[in-house]
């Protein structure tokens, strides 16, 4: 049997091998060791087939990726009387529904594994093809979100939802499209504002928090974006209390 036949028509190879195994099992000189070797070979072929199918499905998915929009508007005043904290983000329910439908159309389902490591919540997004091949496509970790007076369960749930959203986006190579912030065309990019805010919320020490704040605030100040500066101050002050 040629190598080309194995690559081009793996499903025929697997089926033919199973027939050989069935015939061998009824032979007078039946050799258990040889049968085990054939079974192992068949498992490898099936895994190879499933892997190829997964790759083909993901290529098809990326040829026509779904569009994810930031539809959730967050706006609240800062305590210092500065500009309001104002940004958009994509909600988990929307992300899961849209990406889930697009993945299912190519024979893939998504899921997550969640555990705890060094005080952080760790979420891994897993994609599984209908033929059985699975891949861990993205892993993110962060502390429980205790902001806003959440209890322990709510804090864990908030962080878990956030990590699920972003691992699914990252694992499928998608990014949520931003929306105009009341016609804002100047200043700091809204995605950058959100990224620095996330870094501060994820900080476990005052040092990590100060580093993220100084970098984000400095860039916002250079761009003259008072709204972003106010948002960074608000996030910094809240996270500083949580860390302490």
CB atoms within 10 A of CB 173: 12
166 and 123 Cβ atoms separated by less than 8 Å = no
Final residue belonging to a domain, choices 63, 93, 109: 63
Range of the domain at 186: 72-243
pLDDT tens-digit series, residues 102-131: 999 999 999 999 998 888 899 999 999 999
| Same domain, residue pair 33 and 103 | no
| Same domain, residue pair 110 and 142 | yes
| Separation between Cα atoms, residue 225 and residue 158, nearest integer Å | 29
| pLDDT averaged over every residue in the chain | 77
Which pLDDT band holds residue 177 (cuts at 50, 70, 90)?
A: low
Position 134 scores a pLDDT of: 94
Q: How many residues does the chain have?
A: 244
Higher pLDDT pick, 179 / 133: 133
Position 94 scores a pLDDT of: 78
| Same domain, residue pair 118 and 29 | no
Map tokens 């992300």 to a residue: 95
Position 6 scores a pLDDT of: 30
Position 183 scores a pLDDT of: 37
Q: Which of 20-24, 119-123, 141-145 has the lowest mean pLDDT?
A: 20-24
Q: Which of 101, 106, 124 is nearest to 114 (CA)?
A: 124
Q: Is the pLDDT of residue 180 over 60?
A: no
Q: Which of 107, 109, 132 is nearest to 49 (CA)?
A: 132
Q: Is the Cα dihedral 210, 213, 216, 222 positive or negative? A: negative
HSE, side-chain direction, 13 A CA sphere, residue 153: 0
HSE, side-chain direction, 13 A CA sphere, residue 110: 26
Residue 119 has phi, psi (to 5 degrees) of 80, 0
Q: How many domains does the chain have?
A: 2
| Separation between Cα atoms, residue 78 and residue 75, nearest integer Å | 10
Q: Strand 108-117 vs strand 85-89: parallel, antiparallel, or unpaired? A: unpaired
| Same domain, residue pair 118 and 13 | no
| Same domain, residue pair 43 and 131 | no
| Same domain, residue pair 48 and 79 | no
Rounded mean pLDDT of 207-225? 87
Q: Is the pLDDT of residue 193 over 80?
A: no
Higher pLDDT pick, 130 / 196: 130
pTM score of the predicted model: 0.58
| Same domain, residue pair 54 and 142 | no
Position 126 scores a pLDDT of: 96
| Same domain, residue pair 79 and 199 | yes
Which pLDDT band holds residue 21 (cuts at 50, 70, 90)?
A: low
Rounded mean pLDDT of 8-31? 61
Position 33 scores a pLDDT of: 78
Please enumerate in sequence order all residues whose Cβ is within 8 A of that of 94, keeping only pairs 6 or more positions apart, or say none.
Answer: 68, 69, 71
Question: What is the greatest pairwise CA distance in the chain?
Answer: 89
């Amino acid at each position: 049997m040629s190598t080309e036949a194995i690559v081009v028509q793996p499903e025929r190879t697997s089926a033919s091998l199973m027939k050989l195994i069935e015939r061998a099992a009824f032979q007078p000189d039946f050799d258990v060791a040889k049968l085990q070797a054939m079974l192992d070979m068949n498992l490898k072929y099936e895994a190879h087939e499933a892997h190829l199918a997964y790759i083909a499905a993901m290529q098809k998915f990326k040829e026509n990726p779904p569009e994810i929009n930031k539809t959730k508007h967050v706006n609240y005043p800062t305590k210092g009387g500065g500009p309001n904290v104002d940004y958009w983000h994509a909600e988990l329910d929307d992300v899961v529904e849209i990406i889930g439908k697009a993945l299912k159309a190519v024979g893939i389902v998504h899921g997550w594994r969640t555990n705890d490591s060094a005080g952080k919540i760790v979420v891994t997004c897993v994609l599984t093809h209908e033929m059985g091949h699975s891949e861990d496509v993205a892993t993110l970790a962060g502390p429980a979100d205790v902001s806003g007076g959440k209890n322990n369960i709510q804090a864990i749930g908030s962080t878990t939802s956030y990590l699920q959203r972003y691992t699914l986006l990252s694992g499928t190579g998608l990014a949520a499209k931003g929306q105009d912030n009341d016609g804002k065309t100047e200043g700091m990019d809204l995605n950058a504002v959100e990224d620095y805010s996330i870094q501060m919320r994820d900080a476990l020490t005052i040092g990590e928090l100060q580093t993220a704040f100084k970098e984000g605030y400095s860039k916002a100040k250079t761009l003259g974006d008072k709204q972003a500066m106010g948002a960074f101050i608000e996030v910094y002050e809240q996270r500083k209390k949580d860390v302490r």
